[in-house]
């Protein structure tokens, strides 16, 4: 009986330590969401600046024609998918991978996928998909810009070689507080309807700026900045969603560990009571034996 009690004590101690670790990880996950959410909000100001530049350019040169190649059996699609490098994120990568593969089934031609994160990369396998070199997920805000720069360089290289006709962007984004859902966006070629809408926007003041020559080069630069902002926002939203998913996983784990501790405590108390009862029975039996002997 003493061995069973000691075993239960050891399991209670281990479960208590595990709960402490889970609580710490839950706190870290909750704290890590904040800077990524702040980055997404601050990016709105940057996007507004780019949008104003586009308004000024398009008022001078008019809305450019944007050609969109009709999809054919030979068309090629570039795909950027933001996943995670680490585990303990629940169904974060599974849900996104299923969403990506389901969406790409409706697209003909070859697909080139740039996976961001080891956990998402091995889930994106299909006969018509070429998985490009793996890119690591940044763990800090300062790591997002170098990552986006690398992605843009890869996209530009393949675009110049006519390896891809369009680029799709997939990632998880927060919704309803701490929940998340997969998102899809076509980032290239630029939507002609969107450019026309921008060209129709009014300048916020009466002083309309002049665009320095050459307008077309300025427009191209602003469109690159817009593309950068889209990718940056997707990465930041994905990181915030990853932290939210890890937070939910740690909350569930904390509840399970708490239930385990409660069950172990009940078993420990029962085993200890049984041990006390046995000792009392032994004392009573001994006393009775001595009484009969006398």
Q: Which residue has the tokens 């405590």?
A: 265
Sketch the domain layout of the chain as residue ranges: 34-248
The 10s digit of each residue's pLDDT in 102-141 is 999 888 788 889 999 999 998 998 878 888 888 999 988 8
Between residues 10 and 213, the one the model is more confident about: 10
Reported pTM: 0.77
Instruction: Give yes or no for residue 69 having a pLDDT over 80.
Output: no
The model's pLDDT over 234-289, given as tens digits with 9 standing for 90+, comes to 999 999 888 888 887 788 788 888 888 888 888 878 878 877 767 777 677 766 77
User: Which is more confident, 194 or 286?
Assistant: 194
Whole-number average pLDDT of the chain:
81
CA distance 5 to 278: 14
DSSP letter string, the chain: -HHHHHHHHHHHHHHHHHHHHHHHHHHHHHHHHHHHHHHHHHHHHHHHHHHHHHHHHHHHH-PPP---PPP-TT-EEEEEEE--SSS--TTHHHHHHHHHHHHHTT--SEEEEEEESHHHHTT---TTEEEPPPBPPPSSGGGHHHHHHHHHHHHHHHHHTT--SEEEEEEEEEETTTEEEEEEEEEESPPHHHHHHHHHSPPSSS-PPPPPSPHHHHHHHHHHHHHHHHHHHHHHHHHHHHHHHHHHHHHHHHHHHHHHHHHHHHHHHHHHHHHHHHHHHHHHHHHHHHHHH-
d(CA 166, CA 68): 8
- Which stretch, 2-6, 153-157, 188-192, 216-220, has highest mean pLDDT? 153-157
Task: Kindly indicate the confidence band of residue 3, based on its pLDDT and cuts at 50, 70 and 90.
Answer: low
Treating both helix axes as pointing N-terminal to C-terminal, what angle do 92-104 and 215-293 enclose, rounded to 10 degrees? Answer: 140
CATH fold group of domain 34-248: Pyruvate Kinase; Chain: A, domain 1 (3.40.1380)
Beta-carbon contacts of residue 54 (< 8 Å; ≥ 6 apart): 195, 198, 219, 222, 223, 226
* Percent over 90 (pLDDT), the chain: 20
> How would residue 62 be classed by pLDDT, with cut points 50, 70 and 90?
low
| pLDDT exceeds 50 at position 68 | no
């Amino acid at each position: 009986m003493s061995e069973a009690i000691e075993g239960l004590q050891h399991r209670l101690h281990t479960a208590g330590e595990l709960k402490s670790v889970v609580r710490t990880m839950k706190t870290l996950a909750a704290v890590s969401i904040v800077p990524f959410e702040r980055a997404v909000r601050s990016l709105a100001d940057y996007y507004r600046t780019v949008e104003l530049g586009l308004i000024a350019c398009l008022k001078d040169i008019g809305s450019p024609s944007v050609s969109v190649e009709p999809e054919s059996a030979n068309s090629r699609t570039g795909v950027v998918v933001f996943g995670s490098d680490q585990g303990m994120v629940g169904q974060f990568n599974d849900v996104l991978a299923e969403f990506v593969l389901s969406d790409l089934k409706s697209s003909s031609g070859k697909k080139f996928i740039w996976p961001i994160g080891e956990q998402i990369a091995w889930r994106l396998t299909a006969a018509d998909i070429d998985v490009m070199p793996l890119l690591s997920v940044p763990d800090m805000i300062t790591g997002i810009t170098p990552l986006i720069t690398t992605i843009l360089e890869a996209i530009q290289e393949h675009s110049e070689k006519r390896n891809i006709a369009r680029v799709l962007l997939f990632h998880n984004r927060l919704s309803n507080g701490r929940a998340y859902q997969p998102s899809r966006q076509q980032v290239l070629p630029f939507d002609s309807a969107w450019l026309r809408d921008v060209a129709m926007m009014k300048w916020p003041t009466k002083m309309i700026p002049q665009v320095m020559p050459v307008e077309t080069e300025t427009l191209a630069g602003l469109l690159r900045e817009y593309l950068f902002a889209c990718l940056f926002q997707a990465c930041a939203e994905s990181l915030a969603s990853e932290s939210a998913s890890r937070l939910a996983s740690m909350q569930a784990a904390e509840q399970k560990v708490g239930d385990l501790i409660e069950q172990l405590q009940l078993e420990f108390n029962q085993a200890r009571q049984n041990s006390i009862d046995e000792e009392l029975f032994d004392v009573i039996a001994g006393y009775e034996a001595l009484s009969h002997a006398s």
